[in-house]
Amino acid sequence: MAFRTLDDADLKGRRALVRVDFNVPMADGQVTDDTRLRAALPTIEKIRKAGGKVVLLAHFDRPKGKRVPSMSLAPVVGPLAKLVGAPVAFADDCVGPDAAKVVDAMKDGDVVLLENLRFHAGEEANDPAFVAALAQNGDLYVNDAFSAAHRAHASTEGLAHALPAYAGESMRRELDALEAALGSPQRPVLGVVGGSKVSTKLELIHNLILKLDRLAIGGGMANTFLYAQGHDVAASYCEKDLADTARETMAFAAKNNCELLLPVDIVVAEKIEPGAAARVRDLGQLDEHERILDAGPKTVARLVAAMDASKTLIWNGPLGVFETPPFDAGTTAAARHAAALAKAGRLIAVAGGGDTVAALHHAGAAQDFTFVSTAGGAFLEWMEGKTLPGVAALDL
């Protein structure tokens, strides 16, 4: 798709309504992780340096259209100002007189944060009247919140039709990475999909089969495929009622020339606990109380070889119960190998999804991946082939 970026915008003296993702972790009214604040800095700085006025729009938590004091964005102001290196003004509302007063007082280069969009029911309803009220405080609109782009809300979709619309720097980087991973990738393309349930990732798997050369399936969902092949999974988590669906998926992959890489050996234990006695087993060779908790060394070696033979990798979901060592070994080894290939310029490695990001950080591999998306639901819906309203609205 083609979209305008800030390079195309005349920003001098103009009020830029910037949709950001400031839905940050908080404890006792304090921001505990400023990753999402940092993600907005390139866009904020670009607008400030060009002499524009930065009016930040964001939501926090789920107040469901009502003013909930504990869900105010006010605690974000201090940490954000420290990161920006300049004062950040705050308005007690995102529309109406309170917002207008603060915005009208801005000078070129100033930064303002407006109060939680979701204090108004019109935000999630994409109410045209609320869109118009938001638009009164801006001359142009910038979407820098890919993580909210799967929602057709007033601040993610409606404003893009009410004002000249541009992609922010974080949004641009995300869209460029996704295009490189699945839109027009360098081939061969390898996918890794893990996690516990096949049922939650069927759409994802089917869409990837149509786009990939190889797809490795790991985590608990691999157990369902192994069971569908006739292997005993003993006490392992398994959606046995989806065995027919798994067989249909395998046939669908074969029909579309996508090689499915399923486990060829497994790591098992009777309990999920740190330092549990883990054993490597061949497929189907489990005792009745044993559970499959990680990919085996042969499986990981085959996946690593597939990475070596690929030009592009897209990854969602861990290969095992990575949160509990020693069942993190498979995910960690594969992640570190992918990171090394990406760092050496031999592989475009793109990953996303909550558990995936946590697993890559756990492995110490995230910083060397080509791109790691923290968008969660939006990343998954994009991988499923769905149209994201907030992105479609930016299309020229």
Tell me the catalytic residues: 36, 197, 354, 377
The answer to whether 15 touches 73, Cβ cutoff 8 Å, is: no
CA angle 198/203/206 to nearest 5° reads: 95
Q: Name the residue type at position 326.
A: P
Go through 129-150 and write b for each residue having 16 or more CB atoms within 10 A of its CB, e for each that does not.
ebbebbbebbbbbbbbbbbbbb
Helices 35-49 and 169-178, packing angle to 10 deg: 110
Distance CA 367, CA 336 (A): 10
CA distances from 358 to 12, 284, 314, 355, 374 (A): 40, 30, 16, 5, 10
DSSP state of 231: -
Q: What's the distance, Cα to Cα, between the start and end of the chain in Å?
A: 8
Q: Considering only CA atoms, give the Rg of the chain.
A: 23
d(CA 148, CA 393): 13
> Helix, strand or coil for residue 60?
coil
| Contact of 220 with 196, CB cutoff 8 Å | yes
Do residues 18 and 47 lie in contact, with contact meaning Cβ atoms separated by under 8 Å?
Answer: yes
CA-CA distance, 127 to 158, in Å (whole number)?
Answer: 8
Q: Spell out the SS3 assignment of 241-285.
A: HHHHHHHHHHHHHHHCCCEEECCCEEEEECCCCCCCCCEEEECCC
Q: Which two tokens stand for residue 179?
A: 């295009």
238-249 as b/e, with b when 16 or more CB fall inside 10 Å?
Answer: bbeebbebbeeb
